[in-house]
Protein backbone atom coordinates (compact mmCIF):
# COMPACT_ATOMS: atom_id res chain seq x y z
CA UNK A 1 0.00 0.00 0.00
CA UNK A 2 1.34 3.41 -0.90
CA UNK A 3 1.81 5.64 2.13
CA UNK A 4 1.60 9.43 2.25
CA UNK A 5 4.53 10.99 4.11
CA UNK A 6 5.48 14.49 5.16
CA UNK A 7 9.09 14.61 6.35
CA UNK A 8 10.96 17.59 7.77
CA UNK A 9 14.59 18.15 6.85
CA UNK A 10 15.96 20.54 9.42
CA UNK A 11 19.38 20.67 7.70
CA UNK A 12 22.02 22.45 9.85
CA UNK A 13 19.54 24.36 11.99
CA UNK A 14 18.65 24.49 15.70
CA UNK A 15 20.72 23.75 18.78
CA UNK A 16 19.86 20.57 20.66
CA UNK A 17 17.50 22.33 23.13
CA UNK A 18 15.80 24.18 20.27
CA UNK A 19 15.45 20.98 18.30
CA UNK A 20 14.02 19.09 21.26
CA UNK A 21 11.47 21.85 21.74
CA UNK A 22 10.51 21.83 18.05
CA UNK A 23 10.17 18.04 18.02
CA UNK A 24 7.96 18.17 21.11
CA UNK A 25 5.73 20.78 19.49
CA UNK A 26 5.42 18.75 16.28
CA UNK A 27 4.68 15.55 18.15
CA UNK A 28 2.06 17.18 20.33
CA UNK A 29 0.40 18.84 17.33
CA UNK A 30 0.28 15.57 15.39
CA UNK A 31 -1.12 13.72 18.42
CA UNK A 32 -3.86 16.30 18.81
CA UNK A 33 -4.76 16.87 15.17
CA UNK A 34 -7.74 14.79 14.13
CA UNK A 35 -7.53 12.40 11.20
CA UNK A 36 -4.01 13.00 9.91
CA UNK A 37 -3.68 11.30 6.53
CA UNK A 38 0.08 10.90 6.36
CA UNK A 39 3.07 9.58 8.25
CA UNK A 40 5.04 12.44 9.80
CA UNK A 41 8.83 12.33 10.11
CA UNK A 42 11.37 14.80 11.47
CA UNK A 43 14.84 14.74 9.88
CA UNK A 44 17.34 16.14 12.36
CA UNK A 45 21.11 16.64 12.76
CA UNK A 46 23.13 13.72 14.16
CA UNK A 47 23.69 15.56 17.43
CA UNK A 48 19.93 15.75 18.01
CA UNK A 49 18.87 12.18 17.24
CA UNK A 50 19.08 10.65 20.72
CA UNK A 51 17.53 13.62 22.50
CA UNK A 52 14.72 13.98 19.97
CA UNK A 53 14.06 10.25 20.07
CA UNK A 54 13.41 10.55 23.79
CA UNK A 55 10.74 13.23 23.46
CA UNK A 56 8.76 11.99 20.46
CA UNK A 57 6.16 9.23 20.44
CA UNK A 58 6.89 7.03 17.43
CA UNK A 59 3.18 6.33 17.10
CA UNK A 60 2.93 9.89 15.85
CA UNK A 61 6.32 10.98 14.53
CA UNK A 62 9.15 9.06 12.88
CA UNK A 63 12.79 10.05 13.17
CA UNK A 64 15.31 10.48 10.35
CA UNK A 65 19.00 11.31 10.17
CA UNK A 66 20.06 13.57 7.31
CA UNK A 67 22.99 11.45 6.20
CA UNK A 68 25.13 8.47 7.15
CA UNK A 69 28.66 7.35 6.35
CA UNK A 70 29.69 5.14 3.45
CA UNK A 71 31.56 2.84 5.87
CA UNK A 72 30.29 0.72 8.75
CA UNK A 73 32.94 1.59 11.33
CA UNK A 74 36.58 2.35 11.92
CA UNK A 75 39.06 5.13 11.30
CA UNK A 76 36.80 7.71 9.64
CA UNK A 77 37.12 10.67 11.98
CA UNK A 78 33.98 12.76 12.16
CA UNK A 79 31.76 10.31 10.31
CA UNK A 80 28.56 8.70 11.65
CA UNK A 81 27.67 5.21 10.47
CA UNK A 82 24.27 3.76 9.64
CA UNK A 83 24.36 1.37 12.66
CA UNK A 84 25.15 4.36 14.90
CA UNK A 85 22.15 6.20 13.47
CA UNK A 86 19.93 3.17 13.99
CA UNK A 87 21.14 2.81 17.59
CA UNK A 88 19.71 6.26 18.43
CA UNK A 89 16.20 5.01 17.67
CA UNK A 90 16.00 6.68 14.25
CA UNK A 91 14.06 4.66 11.71
CA UNK A 92 14.89 6.62 8.54
CA UNK A 93 17.87 8.25 6.90
CA UNK A 94 17.77 10.90 4.17
CA UNK A 95 20.38 10.11 1.50
CA UNK A 96 21.51 11.87 -1.64
CA UNK A 97 20.27 15.34 -0.81
CA UNK A 98 21.52 17.77 -3.47
CA UNK A 99 23.40 19.71 -0.77
CA UNK A 100 25.33 16.52 0.08
CA UNK A 101 25.93 15.76 -3.59
CA UNK A 102 26.93 19.34 -4.39
CA UNK A 103 28.89 20.56 -1.35
CA UNK A 104 30.33 17.24 -0.18
CA UNK A 105 30.90 15.56 -3.52
CA UNK A 106 28.67 12.57 -2.89
CA UNK A 107 28.63 10.44 -6.01
CA UNK A 108 26.09 8.00 -7.37
CA UNK A 109 28.46 5.15 -6.49
CA UNK A 110 29.01 6.39 -2.93
CA UNK A 111 25.27 6.74 -2.45
CA UNK A 112 24.76 3.18 -3.64
CA UNK A 113 27.03 2.08 -0.77
CA UNK A 114 25.24 4.33 1.72
CA UNK A 115 21.87 2.93 0.65
CA UNK A 116 23.12 -0.62 1.20
CA UNK A 117 24.60 0.17 4.62
CA UNK A 118 21.45 1.99 5.73
CA UNK A 119 19.22 -0.92 4.74
CA UNK A 120 21.58 -3.41 6.41
CA UNK A 121 21.30 -1.36 9.61
CA UNK A 122 17.51 -1.63 9.44
CA UNK A 123 16.90 1.96 8.39
CA UNK A 124 14.44 3.01 5.73
CA UNK A 125 15.85 5.43 3.17
CA UNK A 126 14.46 8.70 1.87
CA UNK A 127 16.45 8.92 -1.35
CA UNK A 128 16.67 12.36 -2.96
CA UNK A 129 17.11 13.07 -6.64
CA UNK A 130 16.65 16.12 -8.81
CA UNK A 131 18.09 18.33 -11.52
CA UNK A 132 19.78 21.73 -11.48
CA UNK A 133 18.38 24.72 -13.33
CA UNK A 134 21.01 24.34 -16.07
CA UNK A 135 20.07 20.70 -16.54
CA UNK A 136 16.39 21.59 -16.79
CA UNK A 137 17.11 24.34 -19.30
CA UNK A 138 19.23 21.94 -21.33
CA UNK A 139 16.37 19.44 -21.28
CA UNK A 140 18.49 16.74 -19.61
CA UNK A 141 16.44 16.58 -16.39
CA UNK A 142 14.85 13.22 -17.15
CA UNK A 143 18.27 11.66 -17.81
CA UNK A 144 19.79 13.17 -14.67
CA UNK A 145 17.02 11.79 -12.46
CA UNK A 146 17.09 8.42 -14.19
CA UNK A 147 20.88 8.12 -13.70
CA UNK A 148 20.63 9.00 -10.02
CA UNK A 149 17.89 6.46 -9.36
CA UNK A 150 19.26 3.67 -11.54
CA UNK A 151 22.83 4.12 -10.32
CA UNK A 152 22.16 4.13 -6.59
CA UNK A 153 18.99 2.05 -6.22
CA UNK A 154 18.36 -0.39 -9.05
CA UNK A 155 20.84 -2.98 -7.75
CA UNK A 156 18.35 -3.60 -4.91
CA UNK A 157 16.02 -6.58 -5.05
CA UNK A 158 12.29 -5.98 -4.78
CA UNK A 159 12.16 -6.65 -1.04
CA UNK A 160 14.95 -4.18 -0.26
CA UNK A 161 13.42 -1.63 -2.62
CA UNK A 162 10.27 -1.74 -0.48
CA UNK A 163 12.22 0.19 2.19
CA UNK A 164 12.92 3.10 -0.16
CA UNK A 165 11.02 6.37 -0.30
CA UNK A 166 11.97 8.63 -3.21
CA UNK A 167 12.06 12.41 -2.91
CA UNK A 168 12.10 14.48 -6.10
CA UNK A 169 13.76 17.79 -5.29
CA UNK A 170 14.53 20.09 -8.21
CA UNK A 171 17.66 21.94 -7.04
CA UNK A 172 16.37 25.21 -8.46
CA UNK A 173 13.38 25.04 -6.11
CA UNK A 174 15.24 24.28 -2.87
CA UNK A 175 15.28 27.18 -0.47
CA UNK A 176 14.63 29.61 -3.32
CA UNK A 177 10.94 30.24 -2.76
CA UNK A 178 10.43 29.03 -6.31
CA UNK A 179 8.32 25.87 -6.25
CA UNK A 180 7.97 23.58 -9.21
CA UNK A 181 4.39 23.90 -10.39
CA UNK A 182 2.19 21.00 -9.41
CA UNK A 183 2.12 19.96 -13.09
CA UNK A 184 5.92 20.11 -13.41
CA UNK A 185 6.31 18.00 -10.27
CA UNK A 186 3.61 15.53 -11.35
CA UNK A 187 5.34 15.08 -14.72
CA UNK A 188 8.57 14.01 -13.02
CA UNK A 189 6.84 11.89 -10.39
CA UNK A 190 4.99 10.00 -13.11
CA UNK A 191 8.27 9.55 -14.97
CA UNK A 192 9.93 8.16 -11.83
CA UNK A 193 7.02 5.78 -11.20
CA UNK A 194 7.36 4.61 -14.79
CA UNK A 195 11.04 3.83 -14.22
CA UNK A 196 10.14 1.85 -11.11
CA UNK A 197 7.47 -0.07 -13.02
CA UNK A 198 9.99 -1.07 -15.70
CA UNK A 199 12.45 -2.31 -13.11
CA UNK A 200 10.22 -3.76 -10.38
CA UNK A 201 6.78 -4.12 -11.94
CA UNK A 202 3.57 -2.14 -11.69
CA UNK A 203 2.64 -3.22 -8.17
CA UNK A 204 5.88 -2.13 -6.52
CA UNK A 205 5.90 1.09 -8.53
CA UNK A 206 2.38 1.79 -7.36
CA UNK A 207 3.29 1.06 -3.73
CA UNK A 208 6.33 3.35 -3.65
CA UNK A 209 6.01 6.70 -1.91
CA UNK A 210 7.38 9.58 -4.01
CA UNK A 211 7.75 12.91 -2.20
CA UNK A 212 8.17 16.37 -3.64
CA UNK A 213 10.67 18.78 -2.06
CA UNK A 214 11.58 22.37 -2.85
CA UNK A 215 9.92 25.41 -1.29
CA UNK A 216 6.89 23.37 -0.28
CA UNK A 217 4.81 25.36 2.19
CA UNK A 218 1.29 25.44 3.66
CA UNK A 219 0.07 27.64 0.79
CA UNK A 220 1.11 25.28 -2.03
CA UNK A 221 1.11 21.84 -0.38
CA UNK A 222 -2.53 20.98 -1.04
CA UNK A 223 -2.21 21.61 -4.78
CA UNK A 224 0.97 19.52 -5.00
CA UNK A 225 -0.42 16.66 -2.88
CA UNK A 226 -3.60 16.54 -4.95
CA UNK A 227 -1.59 15.19 -7.91
CA UNK A 228 -1.90 11.44 -8.39
CA UNK A 229 1.82 10.66 -8.15
CA UNK A 230 2.80 13.12 -5.40
CA UNK A 231 2.59 11.30 -2.09
CA UNK A 232 3.79 14.02 0.24
CA UNK A 233 6.75 16.27 0.79
CA UNK A 234 10.29 16.63 2.06
CA UNK A 235 10.23 19.98 3.77
CA UNK A 236 13.22 22.20 4.55
CA UNK A 237 12.57 25.79 5.65
CA UNK A 238 8.91 25.27 6.50
CA UNK A 239 9.75 22.35 8.83
CA UNK A 240 11.51 24.67 11.30
CA UNK A 241 8.28 26.08 12.70
CA UNK A 242 5.77 23.57 14.05
CA UNK A 243 2.83 25.63 12.82
CA UNK A 244 4.11 25.85 9.23
CA UNK A 245 5.04 22.19 9.20
CA UNK A 246 1.60 21.24 10.50
CA UNK A 247 0.04 23.38 7.78
CA UNK A 248 1.69 21.02 5.30
CA UNK A 249 0.95 17.83 7.27
CA UNK A 250 -2.75 18.70 7.27
CA UNK A 251 -2.78 19.63 3.57
CA UNK A 252 -3.88 16.13 2.48
Residue 101 CB, nearest approach to ligand PGA (Å) = 12
Beta-bridge mates of residue 168:
129, 212
* Contact set for ligand PGA, span 4-43 (CB under 6 A): 9
Nearest to 236 by CA among 7, 1, 4: 7
Q: How far is CA 119 from CA 50, 112, 163, 187, in A?
A: 20, 11, 8, 29
Alpha-carbon gap, residue 217 to 53, rounded angstroms: 25
Binding mask 141-170 for ligand PGA (x = CB under 6 A): ----------------------------x-
Residue 97 is a catalytic residue: yes
Binding mask 187-226 for ligand PGA (x = CB under 6 A): --------------------------xxxx----------
Residue 237 CB, nearest approach to ligand PGA (Å) = 4
Torsions phi, psi of 156, nearest 5? -75, 145
Residue (84 or 216) nearer to ligand PGA, CB: 216
Alpha-carbon gap, residue 79 to 102, rounded angstroms: 18
Nearest-5° angle of CA 186, CA 192, CA 198? 135
User: Which is catalytic among the residues 39, 66, 97, 135?
Assistant: 97
User: Which is catalytic among the residues 39, 131, 169, 189?
Assistant: 169
Report if residue 234 touches ligand PGA, rule: CB under 6 A.
Answer: yes
Nearest to 247 by CA among 10, 36, 31, 21: 36
Residue 39 is a catalytic residue: no
Binding mask 46-85 for ligand PGA (x = CB under 6 A): ----------------------------------------
Residue (7 or 52) nearer to ligand PGA, CB: 7
Q: How far is CA 159 from CA 156, 208, 221, in A?
A: 8, 12, 31
Q: Which residues of the shown chain bind ligand PGA in the complex (CB under 6 A)?
A: 9, 169, 174-175, 213-216, 234-238
Q: Which residues are catalytic?
A: 97, 169
Amino acid sequence: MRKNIVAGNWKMNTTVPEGVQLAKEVCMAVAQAPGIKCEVIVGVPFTHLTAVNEVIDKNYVGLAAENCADHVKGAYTGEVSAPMVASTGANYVILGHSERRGYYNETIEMLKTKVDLALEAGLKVIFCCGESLDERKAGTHFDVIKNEIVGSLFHLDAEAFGKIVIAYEPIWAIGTGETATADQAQEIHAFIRGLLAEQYGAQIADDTTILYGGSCKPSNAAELFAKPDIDGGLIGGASLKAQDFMGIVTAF
